[in-house]
């Protein structure tokens, strides 16, 4: 099945067990929201899906994560290739201030590419990625200037373009709108809806309206455990667990 399947996932930092026996499916061509109180393990879960968790000294993972038929923790799988296939977008747009807009989008290709991209190829990918995020018209006349001067929303779309440029299968978005004004946030939500036709999207958000608006499926995590998972209307309108209900209605978690 396309997408990501997570089986009996456990994650530790040193001796602290952070994720406990998480079983979950993130279907392809759909948006799944991951919600839960601060510190419950949402970001840790995302980092287990692209093998970034193990980069933290002392961190450990157990269980299985299957990405479009690749068992990503299987012996012999190259974590660098997994990180290309599973892209990540963070809360604060992480642009390189001294690089141009063009270089900011193309940098992932340079880092991920085993082969060297010829200039023409690089240009095609950069333009396509900027078009995908709806930024091309806004920046095409200033591609070779730095990204300073772009708004926060534009910078976030630039970061999404950079992630798309290496042709991932999955987009992990960790609170991508938390630093944006409501108009820019809505723009990112529209973009997510467009992109889900081609990608598996996993969205961590603290904004319940946003989850309800864009997510097809919702997973609620509390203290490292998956408490509830279902279609977004199911989870929001008929939560089965009292903890889910309390969290989404804001009456204590």
Ligand X SMILES: Nc1ncnc2c1ncn2[C@@H]1O[C@H](COP(=O)(O)OP(=O)(O)O)[C@@H](O)[C@H]1O
Of 22-30, 39-47, 77-85, 110-118, the segment contacting Mg ion by CB under 5 A is 39-47
Dihedral Cα 247, 223, 168, 111, nearest 10 deg: 130
Q: How far apart are the first and last CA of the chain?
A: 33
Report the residue number, 106 or 224, with the smaller CB distance to ligand X.
Answer: 224
Residue closest to 41 by CA, chosen among 67, 11, 63, 14: 11
Dihedral Cα 158, 164, 169, 174, nearest 10 deg: -10
* Binder of residue 40, out of Mg ion, ligand X, none (CB less than 5 to 8 A by kind): ligand X
Report the residue number, 13 or 136, with the smaller CB distance to ligand X.
Answer: 13
Contact partners, residue 83, CB within 8 Å, separation at least 6:
50, 51, 52, 112
Report the residue number, 5 or 43, with the smaller CB distance to Mg ion.
Answer: 43
Q: Least distance in Å: CB of 53 to ligand X?
A: 9
3-state class (DSSP) for residue 77:
coil
Report the residue number, 36 or 106, with the smaller CB distance to Mg ion.
Answer: 36
DSSP state of 100: B
Q: Does 176 bind ligand X (CB under 6 A)?
A: no
Report the residue number, 51 or 125, with the smaller CB distance to Mg ion.
Answer: 51
Residues 51-70 that bind ligand X (CB under 6 A): 56
**Dist CA 86 CA 134 (whole Å):** 21
Residues 7-46 that bind ligand X (CB under 6 A): 13, 18, 36, 38-44
Q: Are 127 and 56 in contact (CB under 8 A)?
A: no
**Dist CA 132 CA 209 (whole Å):** 25
Residue of 43, 103, 205, 218 that binds Mg ion (CB under 5 A): 43
Q: Least distance in Å: CB of 44 to Mg ion?
A: 8
Q: Least distance in Å: CB of 42 to Mg ion?
A: 5
DSSP state of 165: H
Residues 72-111 that bind Mg ion (CB under 5 A): none
Report the residue number, 43 or 210, with the smaller CB distance to Mg ion.
Answer: 43
Strand partners, 228: 220
CA 47 from centre of chain: 9
Q: Does 222 bind Mg ion (CB under 5 A)?
A: no
Residues engaged in binding Mg ion (CB under 5 A)? 43
Residues engaged in binding ligand X (CB under 6 A)? 13, 18, 36, 38-44, 56
């Amino acid at each position: 099945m396309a997408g990501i399947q997570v089986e009996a996932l456990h994650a530790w930092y040193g001796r602290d067990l952070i994720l406990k026996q998480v079983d979950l499916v993130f279907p392809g061509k759909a948006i799944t929201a991951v919600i839960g109180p601060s510190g419950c393990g949402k970001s840790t879960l995302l980092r287990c899906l692209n093998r970034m968790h193990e980069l933290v000294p002392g961190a450990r993972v157990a269980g299985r994560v299957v990405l479009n038929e690749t068992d990503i923790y299987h012996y012999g799988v190259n974590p660098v290739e997994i990180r290309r296939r599973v892209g990540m977008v963070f809360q604060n747009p992480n642009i390189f201030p001294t690089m141009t807009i063009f270089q900011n989008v193309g940098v992932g290709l340079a880092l991920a590419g085993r082969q060297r991209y010829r200039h023409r190829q690089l240009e095609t990918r950069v333009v396509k990625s900027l078009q995908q995020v709806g930024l091309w018209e806004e920046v095409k006349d200033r591609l070779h200037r730095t990204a300073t001067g772009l708004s926060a929303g534009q910078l976030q779309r630039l970061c999404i373009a950079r992630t798309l440029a290496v042709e991932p299968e999955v987009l992990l978005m960790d609170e991508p709108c938390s630093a944006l004004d409501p108009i820019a946030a809505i723009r990112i939500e529209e973009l997510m809806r467009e992109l889900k036709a081609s990608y598996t999207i996993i969205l961590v958000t603290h904004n319940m309206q946003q989850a309800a608006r864009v997510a097809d499926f919702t997973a609620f995590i509390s203290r490292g455990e998956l408490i509830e998972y279902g279609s977004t209307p199911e989870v929001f309108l008929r939560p089965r667990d009292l903890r889910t209900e309390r969290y989404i209605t804001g009456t204590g978690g």
